[in-house]
A and B are shown apart, each in its own frame.
Chain A
């Protein structure tokens, strides 16, 4: 019987352990950031150990950095944590994309942009959105801090092999519908735990048509569906993306030949399959406090079916039967490792060009990395956003989790392109609605959610036409 992409990636990296038991996997790339690494470095120091492969370890600062003035850090504890990373990287000889450097950005942006993220690699990071890198045909997953320490010391990790799940997506998405809607719809339909215990491979005609950036948005949110690993087979688009990047293999020809053997074999069988028709999809927005509480923008909020729903309604200040167009937004956030890439900013800019952010709304665009910020500025996007009344910020995680000064005030509704609408995620009492960048941008103008498949909005969105 044939093998899946996931089986192949797994097998290539097994060092020890029997099938059916936890196995020791080699780690090709270990990405770290300031929040989940200090205790791991401390553990190394206490045990007198070193980082086994500093050249396979790469650090970024992203969660804590302020995005208004990156060098003016007023939160002293955050500052201490960032300094700890700087000191640790110096002590253990790990390359750091420091705050303010040319490559600075959210860890899941920096990996692909530098060419460190490649097909065939096992990539780990003390961050659950590591699945993002799976879009390149890598086996990428989030780990905890003890595991970070283990990878530091051994360049390996013990894992129980998850089962295979295939998500087959076919059909062309309609205009105004994006990769973000595909993943939001998938989670809304199958729940926040459909992927628990599985490595999920997304494939099909729809995926082949998507750009690398769009593919990353989907793999990024695999974890919101419970899957630690989300992935897609590498193809010509993947290779084209990698050409010329700083850390791409020198001998791309040989590398590509190797990578071509990765895609799932014709006769391979998944333990579980999901089918999704992308043609039927519409823009999705979440009404509640976990990513499965998403519905089409035009739908009315569902009946409360259990305690969790009741609690969510209460927290969000909403009621069953309400509609998205009833929501009065106070904040709009465009950014994060889900939707802080250049194409996301382009889509958002197209929607708002020549328009104005509604009075009373705080709207901000936070590019996911410095290269994105610079490319956007070269294309004049910053001017479009600023003319419309958006704040144009420095790169970082920003309001995706509000560990930095960017937070949504209590009780205020925020249209957000990030990935989690958990209680308190964007600030204490903040009310997050997840959606695509184009939807968020249009919402900034109208002050509430609109269906961007209609009227003037449709013309604004050039993509997918």
Chain B
């Protein structure tokens, strides 16, 4: 996983509440067995017209947002299905950060596993950020847990463990395997009658 410390990028607002993972990546694209190539299908039903030309009305397709790497959303972003394809689609498209009022719990975890930083801010802060000019560079400072823009400094909470993993781009499995003794010990204590 790529490490993420300081990220500077432009924002794009998509303030609807409850954007579910079916909207982020429709199921038609879940049949692939690879992790890559999902960016093309991000927000597919909003992004394309029936003939698969880009829908000029959709904000991601507007030229001033063509470089945005920080998505500003409403509440409960990523609710619904557990599909990690949603996180893969967002990163593959080039998003590094999603800022929202709240996140679906499973999506939140999926994001952190893929170097996509989910940031929870107050709804007013999300709305203020959404009003920034498309050209403004916003700085995300993960070590100091701040979103820095012309609006000032917004502080955000993140669990120290997830933060450390994101900042260092650590592989979860290696870390856990270092605890193999503890896992074995736990297993040895499971009552036999519960195993069958």
Q: Which A residues contact B (CB, under 8 angstroms)? A: 15-16, 21-22, 24, 26, 28, 35-36, 38-39, 42, 47, 49, 63-64, 75, 77-78, 80-81, 84, 118, 120, 126-128, 141-147, 149-150, 153-156, 158, 160, 162, 192-193, 196-197, 223, 226, 228, 247, 249-251, 254-255, 258, 290, 306-308, 311, 401-403, 420, 422-425, 428
List 6 tightest A-B contacts by C-beta distance, closest first.
A144-B110, A38-B33, A146-B113, A144-B84, A254-B193, A142-B82
A-B contact pairs, 6 of them (CB 8 A): A36-B82, A127-B81, A128-B82, A226-B76, A307-B16, A422-B80
| Given known A36-B84, A196-B76, A311-B16, contact A153–B173 (CB-CB < 8 A) | yes
In the bound complex, do residue B105 and residue A196 qualify as a contact, i.e. CB atoms below 8 Å apart?
A: yes
B159 and A160 form a contact (CB under 8 A): yes
Determine if A128 and B81 form an interchain contact, defined as CB atoms under 8 angstroms apart.
Answer: yes
Interface of A is mostly: loop
Residues of B98-116 contacting chain A, CB below 8 A: 102-107, 109-110, 113-114
Q: Do A428 and B45 touch (CB < 8 A)?
A: yes
Q: Which residues of A contact B176 (CB under 8 A)?
A: 24, 150, 153-154, 156, 158
Given contacts A78-B31, A158-B176, A250-B196, contact A144 B87 (CB under 8 A): yes
Binary CB contact string for chain B from 1 to 36 against chain A (1 if under 8 A, 0 otherwise): 000000000000000111010110011101111110
Q: Is the CB of A258 within 8 A of B79?
A: no
A residues less than 8 Å from B113 (CB atoms): 144, 146-147
Chain B nearest CB, measured from A125 CB (Å): 8
Closest A residue to B27 by CB, please name it.
A403
Q: How far is the CB of B188 from chain A (nearest CB, A)?
A: 12
B22 and A425 contacting across the interface, CB-CB below 8 Å = yes
B→A interface (CB under 8 Å): 16-18, 20, 22-23, 26-28, 30-35, 45, 75-76, 79-85, 87, 102-107, 109-110, 113-114, 159-162, 172-173, 176-177, 179-180, 182-183, 186-187, 190-191, 193-196
Q: Do A155 and B183 touch (CB < 8 A)?
A: yes
- Bound-state CA distance A162–B76 (Å) is 16
Give the shortest distance, in Å, between B112 (CB) and chain A (any CB): 9
**Is there contact, CB below 8 Å, between A193 and B109?**
no
Q: Is B23's CB under 8 angstroms from A21's CB?
A: no
**Closest chain A residue, CB of each to CB of B30:** A35
* CB pair B191 A42 closer than 8 Å: no
Chain A residues positioned under 8 Å from B177 (CB to CB): 153-154
Complex CA–CA separation, A96 to B75 (angstroms): 38
**How far does the alpha carbon of A145 sit from the alpha carbon of B173 in the complex, in Å?**
13
Give Cα distance in the complex from A197 to B104, angstroms: 9
Closest-CB distance, B102 to chain A (whole angstroms)? 6
Instruction: Answer whether A49 and B173 are a contact pair too, CB < 8 Å, given A21-B160, A154-B183, A258-B194.
Output: yes
B residues in contact with A141, CB < 8 Å: 106
Residue of A at shortest CB range from B16? A308
> What residues on A are CB-neighbors of B195 within 8 Å?
249
The CA-CA distance from A36 to B83 in the complex, in Å, is: 7
- In the complex the two chains form, is B33's CB within 8 Å of A80's CB? yes
Contact between chains at A26 and B187 (CB < 8 Å):
yes
B20 touches A290 (CB 8 A): yes
Is B18 within 8 A of A403, CB to CB? no
Choose from A36, A258, A311, A420 the contact partner of B80 (Cβ within 8 Å).
A420
Bound form: Cα–Cα A311–B74 in Å: 15
Additional 19 contacts, C-beta under 8 A, given A193-B76, A422-B23: A24-B176, A28-B190, A35-B83, A36-B84, A39-B35, A39-B84, A47-B173, A142-B82, A144-B87, A144-B106, A145-B110, A153-B176, A158-B161, A192-B76, A223-B80, A226-B104, A249-B195, A290-B20, A423-B45
Shortest Cβ gap from A320 to chain B (Å): 19
Residues on A with beta carbons closer than 8 Å to the beta carbon of B45:
423-424, 428
